[in-house]
Chain A
């Protein structure tokens, strides 16, 4: 999906006072359709906010909120954007906002991962802490995230700590919670996202 492709933008659901009062469109208002960011919208560039949903970044359901049950154990990480729950606005205005979601064995999580997980689901910044490439690789056997540009690897179960450089710093985690059966952002990123400038 291209952010620059106008056809990929879905029409926002307008949540008018009339609709709210009438109650007919209330369900749509509570679960609005995704609004793809315009480059000029500062809210789309805002880092993930507590209460944000997580939405598919690609595929047929791009832009739609991800339910906890859709993150399957032993599957490849799922690429997601945070999404403002009220407006449906995708925070896809900056690469720094993209995350990868995996479901891990909750009993295997170290104290560096466990407080940020929700029912074993963990969100990692998609951008490498070394030089800013997308951390697109995954080794299922060792639960390591891999940056293909320079080969850095990170242990998912242990706070995304570096297991092989050149990266010197862990990936940021995005703390999650499950609220009324929905996956939500609990707090902001655990550390600054992006490359190390030294």
Chain B
């Protein structure tokens, strides 16, 4: 393993008021605070370890939300997809941007405290120019970078404390996820499933930056599950990890979503391909794989199940099940049980149209496929949902108040894959299909019902017999990460009209909306400073939302084609006085 780099700002440019604001108080982040965060704060990607994305704040609620108005804004000066949640620790906010800038702001006034700008290598290829936020531990701020480094910054000044290489970017590894801070370790995963990587989750010591453990998502020969990969396919089989995991303090287990195999169609790697398209339960101390559940085997649809399941305790037959709930990219809503030594399948059902999975084993949940819908080299196939899935990475949320799960979904969008044989070259695309939708190898197909809508914000009851309670539809696709609050509000952007909206969490009624500067693909958060509740979100369209928009535009009449302006702006809202 490579050594820890010296604590100098060698590869960064740091600006701001470092030194000038040394007197500004900063509250160190501890395991106890992460396990039981103050209601006013948003200390990690999904606010709490259970990945519920719920804040108990309720000063902004269904009856007064119509008075929500911009309090201040902040332009990042950058293009591309702005996806990070504004993370707030006692009045200090941290956002990240494409090209790996970290900006610290006064969460009340919007004053910039400092800014770190990573100098990226000039030969870098960025398939996904984005970043999904920081992790906090002690008095440090952690960011994983698109050139596959983990950087530790001083939370007060933005100065680099250390930086550690996660993997070699010239071999296709990169990181876009927010790290997860747990018990003095900083956990990260790697993207690069399109470039023949071998995925993993790694933990680094928060203090020193030394590697604590590294667990691959593809077993090496001789390890359990290695017989599910033929020949040398395990070396370049993908299975990336690019969404932040969850953690159960009672079990000491951390849960991570592992993505699809590469190349994209399963004929290139016959077998189940463990642990692709699975949720993994890892011992947080050692990284040991304690349990897994594979949602679908031998993926051939780019249904990349990287989203982390929500830790929700739900009822079945009058009993409480300590659960994992996963609205999958494959369009099924999965209910699992989590325990010390296993993950057990409970039940599942589609939440959007899926014409590939014909049935599930009632005990294990293993799906059967309509093989005519499974593309392979020389055997094109059309299938639903499309490769972008029934739900992509934008996180779902659960409210303990309404007992409803909210899913940002897309329906009526299908796809055709017509893959070609792929040759592995380090650091190059290794999918067997061109990534530009609309080519001979890959295309979207609009289901006739797409005339009505594609995007769906869905609310599901999780207890006893899961059932959809309400749905709000959008004419085109939805790329909106969600926030749900104690004020019974669901917040979401994600549409190409640049709107950011508040919905009544009980009924789905739109109660408020604001047209923003760009399209909103950022994770919204809420926090309180000096007794005032704020809602914050980055507007900055790009990455996959833009890619899919381009593909849709190619299918739609000119009157329905949309071009969304780029440029990142943080919007912070509060109630008008």
Contact = CB atoms under 8 A, between A and B. Distances in A.
Interface of A: 1-4, 94-96, 127, 131-134, 136-137, 146-151, 166, 168, 193-195, 197-198
A4 B170 CA distance: 12
Nearest to B123: A95
Nearest to B120: A197
Nearest to B170: A95
Contacts of A197: 99, 120
B435 interface: yes
A149 B431 CA distance: 12
B552 to A, nearest CB: 12
A149 B172 CA distance: 14
B98 to A, nearest CB: 9
Given A3-B426, A166-B542, A198-B99, A148 B124 contact: no
B252 to A, nearest CB: 39
Given A151-B550, A195-B124, A197-B120, A131 B129 contact: yes
A46 B274 CA distance: 43
B530 interface: no
A73 B566 CA distance: 38
Given A2-B425, A4-B426, A198-B77, A133 B550 contact: no
A194 B434 contact: no
B66 interface: no
Nearest to A58: B425
A4 B425 CA distance: 10
Given A150-B546, A197-B99, A198-B79, A131 B436 contact: no
- The secondary-structure label for the interface of chain A is loop
B31 to A, nearest CB: 37
Most buried by A among B79, B126, B566: B126
B360 interface: no
Interface residues of B, number: 28
Contacts of B80: 131, 166
Contacts of B436: 137, 146-149, 151
B425 A148 contact: no
Contacts of A148: 429, 434-436, 439
Nearest to A128: B125
Interface in B105-147: 120, 122-127, 129
Given A149-B435, A151-B550, A166-B542, A134 B126 contact: no
A1 B124 CA distance: 20
A79 to B, nearest CB: 11
Given A133-B125, A148-B436, 20 more contacts: A2-B425, A2-B426, A4-B426, A94-B123, A95-B427, A96-B122, A96-B123, A127-B125, A131-B126, A131-B129, A132-B124, A149-B125, A150-B546, A150-B547, A151-B436, A151-B547, A166-B542, A166-B546, A166-B566, A195-B120
Contacts of A2: 425-426
Contacts of B429: 133-134, 136, 148-149
Contacts of B381: none
Nearest to B194: A149
B72 to A, nearest CB: 23
A197 B126 CA distance: 11
Contacts of A146: 436
Contacts of A95: 123, 125, 427
Given A151-B550, A166-B566, A194 B123 contact: yes
22 contacts: A2-B425, A2-B426, A3-B426, A94-B123, A95-B125, A96-B122, A127-B125, A131-B80, A131-B125, A131-B126, A131-B129, A133-B127, A137-B436, A137-B439, A147-B436, A149-B435, A149-B436, A166-B80, A194-B124, A197-B99, A198-B77, A198-B79
A102 B357 CA distance: 46
B321 interface: no
B78 interface: yes
Contacts of A195: 120, 122, 124-126, 129
Contacts of A151: 436-437, 547, 550
B516 interface: no
B533 interface: no
